[in-house]
Amino acid sequence: MILDFTISDRKFSERSQAEVHILKIRKFIQNHPCILVLDRGYPSSFFFLERLQQGQKFVVRLSSSDFRKEQLIMASADEDVDIEFTQARINPYRHTPFANRLRETGRIRLRFVQVPLPGHAVEFLATNLSRADFSRQEISELYRLRWGIETAYDTLKNKFLLENFTGKKAILIEQDILATVCLYNLTQDLLRDAEIEQREKNKDKHYKYQMKINVNMAIGVVKDDLIRMALETDPGKRAEIFEGVIRAITDNIVPVRENRQFERVNKHPAIKHPASKKHSF
């Protein structure tokens, strides 16, 4: 479920947008505790100091060049590391008030965790979660929870065709994005209801693999019946349509095959969705 999103120009700072989202978190979760989980590209001196001073817990992946010096001095797979705010790390902020905060703070201490990946690779995670609360394995599992964001982007781009805009004007693009996110959230809501029914329906069946709802089929069902459901004025008939949607979604299940990997292929949106060949969806 997408709780918040922003629409910006193509050239924008993802780090700045992350700060915008973080400021809004309390509106959604109120006083409930939370842990921020972020991918590579977000770690910075600003990010770490801001989170520590705000008392916000986090797990963030480091790229091979992020705080490289600290990565190299690790003697074990789980260590507390001192990060010094050297002049080189202060320079990117030298014309901002944040530079003085870095100088005054001097250094911070974070926990760095190494996680082995297939092919003898290792990923580095930085966190301020204590070992008393989370083991190294649990830190790794926390980071894996971020995978839902990747699958959400895949669904938005490749199943809902988010980038296949109906026009070139900013207002049309914004309208397409808002409508797609709304439809995505509605589909996710229906999927949760269908998953509950599917588990109950198949609880006595024994499959070779764990089964899950076929999201692609679910999107097709919602696309076909959403307008009928919205236009129906009779509550009883609308409920029948809704129940039919849930049944249709529940009947389409696929196996979950773990540890599959595919090579990532990046395509420019203009090539993927040429303006001269618009899809009907």
| Res. 194 pLDDT band, cuts 50 70 90 | confident
Burial class (CB in 10 A: 0-12, 13-18, 19+), 266: exposed
* Chain segment 201-246, per-residue pLDDT in tens: 777 777 777 778 888 888 888 888 888 888 889 999 999 988 888 8
pLDDT of the residue at 274: 64
Mean confidence (pLDDT) of the chain: 87
The answer to whether the CB of 108 falls within 8 A of the CB of 48 is yes
Tokens of 66: 């992020």
Domain boundaries in the chain?
14-145, 149-272
Cα 125 to Cα 111: distance, rounded to the nearest angstrom: 8
pLDDT (tens digit, 9 = 90+) per residue, 4-22?
888 888 788 888 888 888 9
Q: Which two tokens stand for residue 215?
A: 């999201």
Whether 53 has a pLDDT exceeding 90, the answer reads yes
Residue closest to 82 by CA, chosen among 72, 70, 68, 90: 70
Distance of CA 256 to the CA centre of its chain: 20
Give the Cβ contact number of residue 33 at 10 Å: 7
